[in-house]
């Protein structure tokens, strides 16, 4: 059941320095995530979804800066903490699972050592004390031959098993917030489903707050409780999964849902597709107004002037001057 707010992001704006100028990748994005729910952040190229996550935990690359905003966690503003304080939170209270499990592990260390590492750092345990806990977590995450895996190197394991190990590492200090960046994109279809249900199990079992980042709306709608749709660095729509998938109001969300195959289309018939292309991340903040304008069939005069405010019903908000009618 949905509990208290674990993390609240308010008006986050992030910029990158590239080619001599500052380009905003994320613009005034706000959302919150509570314990006991999975919030999915969905977006394509240029949406700013990965930047939002890395900015939240203060792991932006050297040329990135948070321009404004607040990230509240446990009553504190993460953006105002010292690097030492932030380091203590990472891996312990806030866990981050990066993209591509195969590249996220050190190829020269055994899995056992790597999964146990957060315990050594944050709880001051020794390797021998931490190993049984690591083994227990691995088993929890659906790995059967735990002994073999503990002594194996990353390249000896499949993508699915590495992702399970990654989640085990993230969960080992029992964090309050778990952020997963594209956890299923590098995996085969059959494994994707398994990993998604694992994430759901973990979330329920630990009553976690989970932020799940993905480019695929249909995939996350299977497990997410709420969905935030980003476009061109801005929040386009946010709401419960059911509302987003069946009663979406933003033309982009609608367009995305309509352009996926649902099995009811006649064989070889053309799909409805969104015109145009996602915005170029390098150019997305140059023009005022709504970034979705070039592809929107509902554009009106106001759209070019300023970005529409987020409004709507309680719990379901959208940023559009002329939203789609309820279908």
Interacting positions 164-203 with another protein (CB under 8 A): 188-191, 193-194
CB 97 within 8 Å of CB 183: yes
**Sign of the torsion formed by the C-alpha atoms of 76, 167, 58 and 214:** negative
* Size of site (CB under 8 A) for another protein: 48
CB 269 within 8 Å of CB 10: no
* E-strand stretches of 46-193: 64-73, 76-77, 94-97, 177-181
DSSP 290: -
Binding mask 69-108 for another protein (x = CB under 8 A): ----------------------------------------
- Which of 272, 304, 305, 315 is in the footprint of another protein by CB under 8 A? 272
283 binds another protein (CB under 8 A): no
18 binds another protein (CB under 8 A): no
CB 216 within 8 Å of CB 134: no
Distance of closest approach, residue 175 Cβ to another protein, in angstroms: 25
Distance of closest approach, residue 69 Cβ to another protein, in angstroms: 11
Residue 289 CA to residue 149 CA, distance in Å, equals 52
Distance of closest approach, residue 243 Cβ to another protein, in angstroms: 19
Residue 18 CA to residue 61 CA, distance in Å, equals 12
Q: Which of 22, 4, 219, 202 is nearest to 97 (CA)?
A: 202
294 binds another protein (CB under 8 A): no
- Which of 58, 87, 113, 215 is in the footprint of another protein by CB under 8 A? 215
The β-bridge relationship of strands 37-42 and 226-231 is parallel
Between 174 and 280, whose beta carbon lies closer to another protein? 280
Interface residues toward another protein, by CB under 8 A: 15, 17, 20, 22, 24, 44-45, 65-67, 142-145, 148-149, 158, 160-161, 188-191, 193-194, 215-217, 252, 255-256, 259-261, 263, 265, 267-268, 270-275, 277-278, 280, 285
């Amino acid at each position: 059941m949905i509990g208290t707010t674990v993390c609240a992001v308010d008006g986050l704006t992030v910029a990158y320095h590239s080619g001599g100028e500052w380009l905003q990748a994320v613009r005034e994005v706000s959302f919150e995530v509570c314990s006991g729910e999975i919030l999915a952040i969905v977006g394509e190229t240029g949406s700013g979804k990965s930047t939002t996550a890395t900015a939240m935990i203060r792991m932006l690359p050297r040329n990135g800066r948070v321009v404004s905003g607040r990230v509240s966690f446990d009553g504190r503003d993460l953006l105002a903490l010292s690097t030492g304080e932030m380091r203590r939170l990472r891996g312990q209270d806030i866990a981050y699972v990066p993209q591509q499990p195969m590249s996220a592990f050190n190829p020269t260390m055994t899995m056992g050592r790597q999964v146990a590492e957060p315990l050594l750092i944050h709880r001051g345990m020794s390797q021998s004390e931490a190993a049984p806990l690591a083994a227990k977590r691995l088993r929890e995450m659906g790995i059967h031959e735990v002994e073999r895996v503990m002594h194996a190197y990353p390249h000896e394991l499949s993508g699915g098993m590495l992702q399970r190990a990654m989640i085990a590492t993230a969960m080992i200090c029992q964090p309050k917030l778990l952020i997963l960046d594209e956890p299923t994109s590098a995996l085969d279809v059959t494994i994707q489903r398994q990993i998604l249900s694992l994430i759901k199990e973990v979330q329920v079992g630990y009553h976690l707050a989970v932020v799940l980042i993905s480019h695929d709306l249909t995939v996350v709608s299977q497990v997410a409780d709420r969905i935030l749709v980003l476009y061109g660095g801005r929040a386009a729509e946010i709401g419960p999964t059911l509302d987003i998938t069946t009663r979406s109001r933003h033309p982009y969300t609608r367009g995305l849902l309509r352009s996926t195959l649902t099995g009811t289309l006649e064989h070889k018939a053309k799909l409805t597709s969104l015109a145009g292309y996602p915005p170029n991340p390098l150019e997305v903040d140059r023009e005022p107004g709504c970034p979705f304008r070039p592809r929107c069939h509902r554009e009106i005069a106001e759209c070019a002037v300023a970005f529409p405010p987020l409004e709507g019903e309680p719990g379901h908000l959208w940023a559009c001057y002329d939203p789609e009618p309820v279908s």
